[in-house]
Amino acid sequence: MLILQRTLKNDVSLRGKGLHTGQECTITFKPAPTNYGYRFVRTDIENSPEIPALIENVVDVLRGTTIAVNDVKVHTTEHVLAALYGLEIDNCRIELSGPEPPVMDGSAQPFTEALLTAGFREQDEPKNWLVIDETIEYHDAVNAVDIVALPLDNFRVTVMVDYKNPALGSQHSGLFDLQNDFLKEFSPARTFCFLSEVEHLANQGIIKGGDLENAVVIIDKPLKENEIQELCEKLGVESENLTLGQNGILNNRKLRFKNEPARHKLLDLLGDLALLGMPVKAMVLAARPGHASNVEFVKRLKKYADRNKLARQYQHEKKAGVIFDINAIQNILPHRYPFLLIDKIVDFKLDEKIVSIKNVTMNEPFFQGHFPGNPIMPGVLILEAMAQTGGIMMLNGNDNIKDSVVLFMGIDKARFRKPVLPGDTLVIEATMTNKRRSVCQFDGRAYVRGELVCEASLMATVVPKNS
């Protein structure tokens, strides 16, 4: 696998019509500096606005992945991004003279061939790999979609598709070596759809640039003569140029691979993974993926990446089972003895959930007066430990915590179930329930030996110090 970032040596351009908008567009790939990533640039709009190809900019996943900044959109980004990601290009400026890259033949191959002619230039910064060291899962029970990333010191992808349709059947495909497999085995895989979908898509006006040369249409239902004529009118083709064929594909088009649909789904997944903004070291397994599920999966990877970014920032020594140790916590929170009431963070899902540990010992100063001969941890300090735990959860990758402080705004539904005694280990879970700008609400629960001892709903805000 490559160690250093790379970009293009030269500019290269292609021209064609967009699949969904049908508009003619010139796409130009250009070299870019280190850590630039992929950015689409709409040269047809005044001041040429940039749209970074990042997961937070995704606005639509209907039959393709659309990204936008403000009201400026780029439709159907996945094939372009798959070509860049598959060729391990890290930084590229992508100029468009319209709202959608040309569909070309429905695959990523025309883009990969153009990029190869431009050539590659190695840069002097290392790649920013996201190394997966725990299982990350996405599950959609309604659509029977599962995507999982497993730890692996490499990058591999396996895809299975099964639409419960005899015209397609069940297929699978796997990419095990990006450098050797992508160019010949996956970039040529073309987009596909079912015949039963074509009329519906045409009526929605989202395949204005679609024709019989840029998509594989799988026959999944018989058509009468009048239906064929209507379909030809919608596609803008002569009826004599359209046949139902004998091989299960409109116009008897030959597949480039026996499992071309599965390979194209893998190609789409690569394009959507590119929206993470960094290459991944993991084994990715996907069952029945689509753009909507891909995007949700990448969002989970993004949260994992942001959490790891924070961990690298504050936790300098990696420890098994620990996200932040006491030294990291002291770099994050302003609290000190005797009011620092958590010892370590053992689980952290950004903007979702955090779990801390507080070891309660007889040396705690509050036991001297609460109560002599019958030491019990004050309930208000359990709530304070919950608040400190939730305060760390309110971090994000852009916050400068050294210039900020987390303040209580409210406590609701506080209940104390059992006393906490010297020798107990408090396990505190804080789960985010609502977040608006700098204010968040979270539910806190404290356990001892698996038994609930305290629960409450808290509200807090992040404010600048000395404000």
CATH number at residue 39: 3.30.230.20
Q: Residue 399: is its pLDDT beyond 70?
A: no
Domain containing residue 445: 315-464
pLDDT-above-90 percentage for the chain: 70
Is residue 79 among the annotated active site residues? no
**What is the total count of domains within the chain?**
3
Q: Which of 30-44, 131-145, 187-201, 342-356 has the lowest mean pLDDT?
A: 187-201
CA dist 53 and 56 (Å) reads: 9
Residue 1 CA to residue 103 CA, distance in Å, equals 30
Query: Under the phi-then-psi rule, with left for phi > 0, alpha for psi from -120 to 50, and beta for the rest, what region is 209?
Result: alpha
Per the annotation, the verdict on 75 as an active-site residue is no
Q: What is the DSSP track for 315-337?
A: --S-BTTBSB-HHHHHHH----T
Q: 217 and 140, same structural domain? A: no
Q: Which of 20, 75, 79, 291 is catalytic?
A: 291
Q: Quote the pTM value.
A: 0.81
Find tokens 């970032």 and name the residue. Answer: 5
Same domain, 99 and 215: no
- Based on the domain organization, do 325 and 435 belong to the same domain? yes
From 232, 252, 272, the end of a domain falls on: 252
155 and 298 share a domain? yes
β-strands 216-218, 170-175: how paired? unpaired
Mean pLDDT value of segment 144-173: 90
Residues 91 and 233 both lie in one domain: no
The three-state secondary structure class of 310 is helix
Q: Tell whether 123 and 224 lie within a shared domain.
A: no
* Least reliable range by pLDDT among 97-101, 111-115, 304-308: 304-308
Give yes or no: residues 269 and 398 share one domain.
no
Q: What CATH number corresponds to the domain at position 350?
A: 3.10.129.10
Mark which of 252, 271, 286 sits at the end of a domain.
252
Is the pLDDT confidence value at 458 over 70? Answer: yes
**What are the CA-CA distances from residue 243 to residues 195, 248, 327 (Å)?**
12, 11, 71
Residues 210 and 247 in one domain: yes
Of the residues 309, 326, 346, which one is the last residue of a structural domain? 309
Confidence of residue 241 (pLDDT cuts 50, 70, 90): low
Copy the structure tokens of residue 317.
Answer: 């020594």
Whether residue 55 is found in the same domain as residue 65: yes
The rounded distance, in Å, linking the Cα atoms of 278 and 72 is: 23
**77 with 202, same domain?**
no
Cis, peptide link before residue 279, omega less than 30° from 0 = no
363 with 392, same domain? yes
The predicted structure's pLDDT at residue 398: 45
**Does residue 17 sit in the same domain as residue 145?**
yes
